[in-house]
Amino acid sequence: MTSSIPNTCRPYLPPEWAPQSGVMLTWPHSHGDWGPHLSEVEPVFVAIAHAIADRERLLCVCFDACHRRHVEEQLRAAGVPATRVQYALAPSNDSWARDHGPLGVVCRNRPLLLDFGFNGWGGKYPAGLDNAISRAVASQGGFRDTPLETVDIVLEGGSIDVDGSGSLLTTTRCLLAPTRNPNMSREQLEHELGDWLGIRQVHWLNHGYLAGDDTDSHIDTLARFCDPGTIAYVACDDPADEHYADLAAMERELRTLASRHGGPYRLVPLPWPRARYDEHGQRMPATYANFLVINDAVLVPAYDDPADETARQQLQGCFPDREIISIPCLPLIQQHGSLHCVTMQLPAGVLTAASP
């Protein structure tokens, strides 16, 4: 596959802690799986929106004009300043903006948005509407004058994490799944990640999963960079739990990794919340690795669990200069995702500067 973009510059995917212009949310609606649970999940989105709008801009993707009016009222009632929020209209299958939103890279000191393909996590769910959202937003001027480049590769934002120094962390279960890019080898994928995201080193994890997760082990549920030398990861301390052996194997893999600057990473274990089950008895994927870094803060999922406070403390140590804000996320994991999964940060220069 070819494009003029990688030939004219080497795009660079900033780490999540780099300056942001805003965060994109695809608001839940009654036309999909959230329908029966809207009264539970919308307060979560409002809490996320409020925390973001306090520090940067918010881009809300709404299903249609009627839905936009509803979202505006929700945010107005919560005291979210209207000057901090902009809207775009696009019908959606679901609300997982991390996976259908654009990846924001920097090209010659200017932002560039990459629209990778999204096929519903390997064809598990309908995704045609979601796959068109970024182009719909761009056509409405939602990204201002930032160009949007379509990339003919299936890649979800939750499947990768970068340290800002050329290293990328991912899992073989996801990126090498035959339902995503069946005609691409591991070496070809590494080459494409280098061209499009400025990656020089790919760390592949062969272990790590969460029951109830249907993404084929997205890395943002398992292990995350906190700075170029630190990785926070989920650790199971219960030998009787079904995850114990595989997460212990993942931890051993993490200990073998070396950063681009040489030497091992500092590894910070995140606590293990008690098991939660949905109405059908299926275990839900509660994970503290699904945090979101924004300007001056880190939003951390909370699950009404004794481990919530430990997770806050561990991540405060990873981000000592940022405020740690807990967001109640039990409603989100009913649909097999959490806080990071419903958000997509946009680099500086993409959205109009917010009023102070």
What CA–CA distance (Å, rounded) separates 171 from 289? 15
Burial class of residue 306, CB neighbours in 10 A (0-12, 13-18, 19+):
exposed
62 is catalytic: no
Model pLDDT for residues 3-13, shown as the tens digit of each residue: 455 566 789 99
Question: Taking the C-alpha atoms of 304, 80, 58 and 137 in order, what is their torsion angle to the nearest 10 degrees?
Answer: 110
Give the confidence band of 200 by pLDDT, cuts at 50, 70, 90.
very high
CATH number of 10-347: 3.75.10.10
- Residue among 60, 107, 226, 341 flagged as catalytic: 341
DSSP state of 31: T
Q: pLDDT > 70: what percent of the chain? A: 96
Are residues 324 and 315 in contact, defined by beta-carbon separation less than 8 angstroms? yes
Whether 183 has a pLDDT exceeding 60, the answer reads yes
pLDDT tens for each residue of 253-279: 999 999 888 889 999 999 999 999 988
Average pLDDT, whole number, for the chain? 95
Confidence grade of residue 356 (pLDDT, cut at 50, 70, 90): very low
Residue ranges per domain, the chain?
10-347
Cβ 90 vs Cβ 137: under 8 Å = yes
> How buried is residue 253: exposed, middle or buried, by Cβ count under 10 Å (0-12/13-18/19+)?
middle
Statement: the pTM of the whole predicted model exceeds 0.75? yes
| Residue pLDDT, tens place only, 139-155 | 999 999 999 999 999 99
